[in-house]
Structure 1
Amino acid sequence: MRFSAPSHLRKQGVAFYFRMAVPERLRPALGKVEVKKSLSTVYLREAKVRVVHVAAVVQSFLGYLDAAGPVAAMTPPEQLQAYLEGEMNKVSAAWKGQESPQAGYLPSMLPKVQTGLRDHAQVQPAKPCTVTPVEPQPVPTAGTKLSEAVEKYIADKAAKWRVSSKKDIIPDLHDFVTMVGDIQAVDLSRDHMRTYHRIMHHLPKRRTIDPRWKKKPLAKLLNMTIQEADKLGATSLGNAFTNIRSFINWLEDEGLVSKAATLNKVLEVQRKSVTPEREAFTDDELRALFSPENFKPKEFRSSWQFWLPLLGLYTGARLEELCQLHLSDIRQDEASGVWYLDINDLADKKTKTSAGNRQVPVHQDLVRLGLLDRVEALRGKRHTRLFPTLEVRESAGKRGGAAGQWFTRYRRQCGVGGGRGEVSGKVFHSFRHSLVTRCKMLGVVRRMCQELVGHEKGAYADVTGGYEGRYPVKVLYEEVVSRLDYVSIVDADRLVGCVWVSLP
């Protein structure tokens, strides 16, 4: 009984597999219609060698099973499958240099699997042989395919993910299955993880957007020479690997893999980050951003283009925290009369950490510029949000997507930070750095600054810190916010009475 090994080489995704149909007469005994084995490689030349090794083992096994005839039915199919899988695993171990692949040794070993086959072998005219019984081994179940596991994982976890997280996690999971092949989860090995790791380090960034890559299948990208500067950056790789590690951990929790930690160790980023650290704006850069030549309210198309830079300057709040503000989040402290922004994660709003839920006093300049008047005007028009025209972008899952892109264009126009196509550490978040730096220069108590911007306790996370309450709004206003002087940065007189006080 002969099989043509090369014809059993198949490609699934970017990986190669051995696949051989089981003859119909043997299917009842083996309980399978096909034998399939990952060759643990994405390279054709390597796959052509490995498929011959696997084919030799499977050929011998099926040949002996065929010769056993009706006696083969005395062995449970699951036990035969487990035995064959074990023999194929010995071959795959040889690819790692652990032992050499052999062919033709199965017939002498198979009688150990079941007494009936051993007896059948002994009643043949050939010389009787003595076989040492083997303790029965636990038989692994067929398991769940990776694609099925991914869908279960998404169904189990998606409700807890932010919209912005879903847009990255789900494609990363599907890419993982494509790169390692839709194998059974129980078969997932470190070799599969190495394959995924190697492919990810070769792929270009923005491959679904950049015209150079977006129409090219994965297999073609793997055969292309891609410049290092065009490949996925350390941050992107780190985020993708984090998503896959979480999935592998879930597989272990579900009993689909045995040791997630062993698999996850493979996923280390082997690329240095080229993303610059975010930096504070200098006073000269702030003056450029709010100069009469650049900051022209009449040329803005939306209210948030006027208000967001000002709010960022005076509060140090994160962009998304400002974009999602409700009118009801601008409140007055009953005891002191101080107005503040109540930054919270109620309703559809999100904060980065629990410390992000805080009360930020409104600077006197913002009141003078008409922030409170805007709140009343929008309430009269039955609006509920401070910036009604900002919608959640499905692609980003945030309200601040459009605002962030606009600000990048705006600060470039002002000559601040890197130009078009250049990576820059000067972004909207730099307002936050600037405020923290200014507080330091003013000698503000560090804990007050932390509470103002919503940072975790850090050095104050001790036992005593756990008993401390937060500073009252009045104290934060008097000791921090009222001391922030931007007279040389913003010409408030010029901006008072702006049209964007009342327009949505």
Structure 2
Amino acid sequence: MVSTYETIKNQARKIIHHYHSMELADWQSRPRTMSEYELWIDLLHLFKSQAIEASRLNDLTQSQQLVQDYFEDTTSSPPSPPTLDKLVRKVCDLVPSIYQALLNNKPLESIEELLQVAEPTPKQGTEPASEKVLSELMDAYLSENQLKGWKMRTIKQYEHSLFIALHHLGDGPVSSLNRTQGRELRATLVRLAKGKTQADITAKGLMACLTDNDAHRISVTTANNHMNRLREFFRWCESMGFIERNPLPDDNLPAPKSAKIAKRDPITDHEAKQIFSHRLFVEQRGVKTKQIQHASHFWLPLIAAYSGMRLGEISQLQVSNIRQISGINCFVVERSTDDQYIKTPNAVRAIPIHNELLRIGFLDFVDYIRSKGGKRLFNNIKLIQGNYSNKPSEWFIKNFRDALCPLPKNPVPKSL
């Protein structure tokens, strides 16, 4: 007798084969120019990146459409709703393999090897009756994802979410978890107080780190980010055979309606003039002392304003990331060292350095760092949990947005 797991897995593979065949047939339907081919390759990389992100965030929009289209195209009957939900989830995990197959120019019959890679095979001895405890599986999950090359920042985020879950659920057998506990964990996440660390939870207990005061709680978005990471962990437990069913509900916490239309207003010319008329930029004097304490205080806001780069991208710049391309001085955003990261594959780019930055001596600053044997432009900015931007952002907000009252709340580094 074929198990439900095997049935869902086989059905998901048929859907992936079907979609891959359609994509390939569409591309081969007529002769293509080289420019069309290059654009297609770029789109495949983009779609693969988006599909991987959708799988991690439990965004089932695309996979639901693929499953629905498959049953309509093949005029076959879909399974019952509970099985259909699991099928959609399985398809969501396999969608990136379609784009990888197309990128590798794999024919339909060769996609199977990609599906084998994308589909974790339950190991022997990991039946749902397994008595493995939660902490053991959390450690195994994080170790496995480190081997997959996850950024340290992502690992730390998952580690924090798993830490919260462990303190709520207790370190018992994972197979004993049920939907009631999952619902209770979901309700607890949104009551977490802002700024509570693992050290706080360890010292005071999780209950002491909860609050019913809306102003002091983490946002619904943050709570749902915890939910998505934990749901991903329990999906891994399910695929490995440690549990029969994900204990977490499929639905995220409802966000207030105002959050859907909430947006950050762009920084105005008047606000920018208030910031850049500060003595730090006009007289090149420190915020609290005569000397500028760190070069990053002066250069980061200016580079952000004149390039549109993310603060994390600027903070991690190496001397080697400043170079000429076709005679034009550029910032080159790339991952050239293990300590650098990029937000998406499409974030790799070259940005011409604005003439105003050249006029006030940015290249002279770069040459000075190079002459001293330095590699990073802003060595004072440390990598904290895989993130360079937290401390510079805090410094900017404290010394500009909050200090230059009555400056509105929207001027933050990202606004530039």
Both structures adopt the same fold (TM-score exceeding 0.5): yes
The code of the aligned residue for 2:145 comes to K
The code of the aligned residue for 1:380 comes to S
Distance 1:168 1:429 in 2: 21
Distance 1:325 1:315 in 2: 13
Distance 2:152 2:278 in 1: 38
Q: Match of 1:248?
A: 234
Residue of 335, 339, 357 corresponding to 1:345: 335
More helix per residue: 2
2:253 is paired with a residue whose SS is coil
Does 366-375 or 309-318 show the bigger shift?
366-375
**CA deviations over 1:139-192 (Å, ceiling 9, x no partner):** 963432222211211221134332323333213212212212333222222111
Written as runs of structure 1 = structure 2, the 5 A alignment for 1:97-496 is 141-159=129-147, 160-208=149-197, 216-219=204-207, 226-260=212-246, 263-272=247-256, 277-293=263-279, 295=281, 296-299=283-286, 300-333=292-325, 335=326, 337-347=327-337, 348-393=339-384, 396-411=385-400, 412-415=402-405, 417-418=407-408, 424-431=409-416
Instruction: Compute the TM-score of the two structures, normalised by the length of structure 2.
Output: 0.61
Residue 385 of structure 1 deviates from its aligned partner by 1.5
The code of the aligned residue for 2:358 comes to V
Distance 1:378 1:353 in 2: 28
Distance 1:374 1:259 in 2: 57
Distance 1:325 1:371 in 2: 13
Residue ranges of structure 1 left out of the alignment (5+ in a row) = 1-138, 419-423, 432-504
Does 366-375 or 251-260 show the bigger shift?
251-260
Residue 209 of structure 1 deviates from its aligned partner by 9.1
1:168 is paired with a residue whose SS is helix
**CA deviations over 1:369-388 (Å, ceiling 9, x no partner):** 11111222221111112222
How many residue pairs get aligned? The number is: 279
Written as runs of structure 1 = structure 2, the 5 A alignment for 1:2-151 is 141-151=129-139
Residue 198 of structure 1 deviates from its aligned partner by 2.1
The code of the aligned residue for 2:285 comes to K
Distance 1:221 1:322 in 2: 34
Distance 2:203 2:255 in 1: 26
Report if aligned partners of 2:330, 2:352 keep a CA contact under 8 Å in 1: yes
Distance 1:294 1:416 in 2: 19
Distance 2:199 2:373 in 1: 42
Structure 2 vs 1, CA of residues 358 and 219 (structure 1 numbering), >3 Å: closer, same or farther? closer
Residue 305 of structure 1 deviates from its aligned partner by 0.8
The code of the aligned residue for 1:358 comes to R
Report if aligned partners of 2:189, 2:223 keep a CA contact under 8 Å in 1: yes
1:413 is paired with a residue whose SS is coil
1:151 is paired with a residue whose SS is helix
Report if aligned partners of 2:128, 2:241 keep a CA contact under 8 Å in 1: no
Question: Identity over the aligned pairs, expressed in percent?
Answer: 27
Distance 2:406 2:180 in 1: 47
The code of the aligned residue for 2:223 comes to L
Report if aligned partners of 2:128, 2:244 keep a CA contact under 8 Å in 1: no
Q: Highest CA radius of gyration, 1 or 2?
A: 1
Distance 1:210 1:289 in 2: 36
Distance 1:416 1:210 in 2: 36
**CA deviations over 1:14-46 (Å, ceiling 9, x no partner):** xxxxxxxxxxxxxxxxxxxxxxxxxxxxxxxxx
Residue ranges of structure 2 left out of the alignment (5+ in a row) = 1-126, 287-291
2:204 is paired with a residue whose SS is coil
The code of the aligned residue for 1:202 comes to R
1:226 is paired with a residue whose SS is coil
Report if aligned partners of 1:281, 1:430 keep a CA contact under 8 Å in 2: yes
Residue 319 of structure 1 deviates from its aligned partner by 0.4
Distance 2:232 2:191 in 1: 22
Q: Match of 1:125?
A: none
**CA deviations over 1:76-117 (Å, ceiling 9, x no partner):** xxxxxxxxxxxxxxxxxxxxxxxxxxxxxxxxxxxxxxxxxx
Residue 271 of structure 1 deviates from its aligned partner by 4.3
Report if aligned partners of 2:221, 2:255 keep a CA contact under 8 Å in 1: no
Distance 2:240 2:306 in 1: 49
